[in-house]
Structure 1
Amino acid sequence: MLNKNEFALNLLEWYHINKRDLPWRQTNDPYKIWLSEVMLQQTQVQTVIPYFNKFIDKYPTLDDLANADEQEVLKDWEGLGYYNRIRNLHSAVKEVQYTYNSIVPQKPKQFFELKGVGPYIGGAVQSIAFNHRIAAVDGNVLRVMARLNEDNRDISKQSTVKSVKSYVESIIPLESGDFNQALMELGATICTPRIPKCLSCPVQSHCESFKSNSVLQYPKKKSSKKKTELYYNIFLILNDKNEVYMFMNESNLLKGMYKFPKYDIDTSIGTIEEELNLKLSQLKEPIAEEKHVFTHQVWYMNVYLLYTNSESEHFIKIKDVSDYPMSVAMQKVFKHLN
């Protein structure tokens, strides 16, 4: 049986001495803590640091972000991926501005009702900023707790995540924000997936899998599905004014980002001309091939260079393209114009 008081003491003592010096740990501002947690979802710490610093310089207060143009915010987020994160945060801070006089709600129920705030974001912000005893369970915490208790349950199942959350909340001390961060820090720096540093672990004496030499057998997780492979032709369409055809994406995956015309590889040039209302030059061999990996998909892209004399509102000066928010996939395509 875990001695929760001793476990928390050992973990927190280690954390206070060994925690990484990260910019979002140097503030008590709930808005900045919230921004950092949104950025850190599914993104590595070293990738997030420069984005966080850039955002805080440009949008130092919640009102600054709430009042910003969405296209500009998306442009600043460009390269971080998972663009729904920033769209949801932008919507949520507007709601905070309107409903709560620009003050991030201290009541968990109110905060959890904001757009994009799920169990992890809610638990992290409410515990770190306001010290509510709510767990913040990410992949690091799931791995730590599975090894700690030799838990054979599949961590990819929501039922397991909910159970682990309840368990953590049953052992969480009054110093809840630091405790949540300590668990995550332990998973990120000591209890790592492939080469855990068990001999340096501050809670080694509490760990059932260490005692039975079974650490690498945990956590249990069913094999992930193979990514869907999709094949596209992407068209860089130029006119005689040194402009390229681009338009805003309306689909959910990359909504609000600008893109070049993208079609399944078996789409005829006639269909493309009809849809775009453009007369295009003859299709030749692709000028490049690119690959981009999303969470659940892989795009294989043939890049074609075409010309037209047709007029359209969607033409943008090539020199201005970098001012528009684009996904990394489209940036890979655009580089072939440079």
Structure 2
Amino acid sequence: MLNKNEFALNLLEWYHNNKRDLPWRRTNDPYKIWLSEVMLQQTQVQTVIPYYNKFTTKYPTLDDLANAEEQDILKDWEGLGYYNRIRNLHLAVKEVQSSYDSIVPNEPEPFLALKGVGPYIGGAVQSIAFNHRIAAVDGNVLRVMARLNVDDRDISKQSTVRSVKLFVETIIPLESGDFNQALMELGATVCTPRIPKCVTCPVQSHCESFKSNSVLLYPKSTKSKKKTELYFNVFLILNNKDEIYMFKNDKNLLKGMYKFPKYDIDTSIDTIEEALNLKLSQLKEPIAEEKHVFTHQVWYMNVYLLYTNSESQHFVKISEVNEYPISVAMQKVFKHLH
């Protein structure tokens, strides 16, 4: 049986002496803590740091972010991926501005009702910023808890995540924010997936899988599905004014980002001309091939260079393309124009 008080004491002592010096740990501002947690979802710490610094410099207050144009925010987020995160945060801070006088709610219920705020973000922000005793369960915490308790349940199931959250909330001490961060820090730096540093683990004496020499058997998870492979032709269409055809994506995960025309490889050029209302030059061999990997998909892209004399509102100066928010996949395509 886990000695809850001793476990918390050991973990917090280790955390206070060994925690990484990260920029969002130097602030008590709920808005900046919230921003960092949104950025850290499914993204490594070292990747997030420059984006966090850029955003907190350009949008130092919640009002600054709320009042900003979506296109500017998406441009600043460019390359960080999972663009729904920043769109949802933008909508949420606007609601905080209008409904809560620009003050982040310091109670869980109204905060959890905001756009894009799920159990993890809710637990993290409410515990770190306001010290509510709510768990913040991410992949690191699930791994630590599975090994600690030799838990055979599938961590990819929401029922397991909910159960682990309830368990953590039975052991969470008054220093809830530090405790949640300590659990995540332990998973990120010590209780790692493939080469855990059990010898230096501060809670080794509490770990059932360490005692039974079965650490690498946990956590249990169903194998992730194979990524869907998709094949596209992407068209760089130029006119005689040093302009390129580019338009805003109005759906899916890349909503709000700009893109070049992209079609399944079996789409005829006649269909493309009709869809774009352009008369295009003859299709020749692709000038390049590119691959881009998303979480659940892999895009294989043939890049074509075409010309037109047709007019369209979607042409922009080639020299100004980089002023628009463009996904990394489209950046890979555009580089072949140079």
Tell me if both proteins adopt one fold, taking TM over 0.5 as the criterion.
yes
What is the alpha-carbon distance in structure 2 between the residues aligned to residue 260 and residue 78 of structure 1?
16
Amino acid at match of 1:179: F
Name the amino acid aligned to 1:233: N
Is 1:296 the equivalent of 2:303? no
Q: Tell me the CA shift for residue 263 of structure 1.
A: 0.3
Residue 280 of structure 1: CA displacement? 0.2
Asked whether 1:36 is paired with 2:42, we answer no
SS at match of 1:205: helix
Other-structure match for 1:231: 231
- Structure 1 counterpart of 2:267, one-letter code: T
1:17 matched to 2:17 = yes
Aligned position for 1:264: 264
- The Cα of 1:251 is off from its aligned counterpart by 1.2
Give SS of 1:46's match: helix
1:191 is matched with: 191
Deviation at 1:253, TM superposition (A): 1.6
- Offset from partner CA, 1:43-71 (integer Å, 9 cap, x none): 00000000000000000000000000000
Q: Shift of the alpha carbon at 1:157?
A: 0.2
Counterparts of 2:186 and 2:299 in 1: how far apart (Å)? 35
Structure 1 gaps, min length 5: none
The aligned residue for residue 91 of structure 2 is 91
Task: Show CA shifts across 1:108-167 (max 9, x none).
Answer: 000000000000000000000000000000000000000000000000000000000000
- The DSSP-based 3-state class of the residue aligned with 2:103 is coil
Task: Map Cα deviations across residues 223-267 of structure 1 (whole Å, 9 max, x no partner).
Answer: 110000000000000000010000000112200000000000000
What's the secondary structure of 1:232's corresponding residue? strand
* Matched AA of 2:197: K
Q: Do structure 1's residue 334 and structure 2's residue 298 form an aligned pair?
A: no
> 1:292 is aligned with what amino acid?
H
Task: Name the counterpart of 1:70.
Answer: 70
Q: Does 1:314 align with 2:318?
A: no
Letter in 2 for 1:268: S
5 Å-filtered alignment, 1:175-254, equals: 175-254=175-254
Q: Distance in 2 between matches of 1:252 and 1:226?
A: 20
Equivalent residue, structure 1, for 2:133: 133
Three-state SS of the structure 1 residue aligned to 2:229 is strand
Is 1:142 aligned to residue 142 of structure 2?
Answer: yes
Q: Secondary structure at the match of 1:174?
A: coil
Paired residue type of 1:136 = A
SS of residue matched to 1:290? strand
Q: How far apart are the structure 2 equivalents of 1:112 and 1:275?
A: 42
Which residue number in structure 2 is paired with residue 157 of structure 1?
157
Q: Deviations over 1:180-211 (max 9, x none)?
A: 00000000000000000000000000000000
What TM-score do the two structures reach when normalised by structure 2? 1.00
- What do residues 25-48 of structure 1 show as CA deviations (whole Å, max 9, x unaligned)? 000000000000000000000000
Which whole-Å CA distance do the structure 1 matches of 2:234 and 2:170 have between them? 53
Equivalent position amino acid for 1:241 in 2: K
String of CA shifts for 1:261-306, please: whole Å, max 9, x gaps.
0000000000000010000000000000000001100000000000
* 2:309 aligned counterpart, secondary structure: coil
Please name the residue that 1:255 is paired with. Answer: 255
Q: Distance in 2 between matches of 1:31 and 1:124?
A: 12
Q: Which runs of 5+ in 2 are unaligned?
A: none
**1:110 maps to which residue?**
110
Aligned residue type for 1:24: W
TM-superposed CA distance for 1:16, in Å, is 0.1
Q: Residue 156 of structure 1 aligns to which amino acid in structure 2?
A: S
Give secondary structure in 2 for the equivalent of 1:33.
Answer: helix
- Aligned-residue CA RMSD in angstroms? 0.3
Shift, 1:22, TM fit: 0.1
Q: Which of structure 1's runs of 4+ aligned residues deviate more than 2 A?
A: none
Q: What is the one-letter code of the residue matched to 1:65? A: L
| Partner Cα distance (2:297, 2:275) in 1 | 25
Q: Following TM superposition, by how much is the alpha carbon of 1:107 offset from its aligned partner in structure 2, in angstroms? A: 1.0
In 1: Cα distance, 2:263 partner to 2:253 partner: 16
Q: Secondary structure at the match of 1:300?
A: strand
* 2:8 corresponding residue in structure 1: 8
Aligned length in residues? 338
Find the residue that maps to 2:117 and give its secondary structure: coil
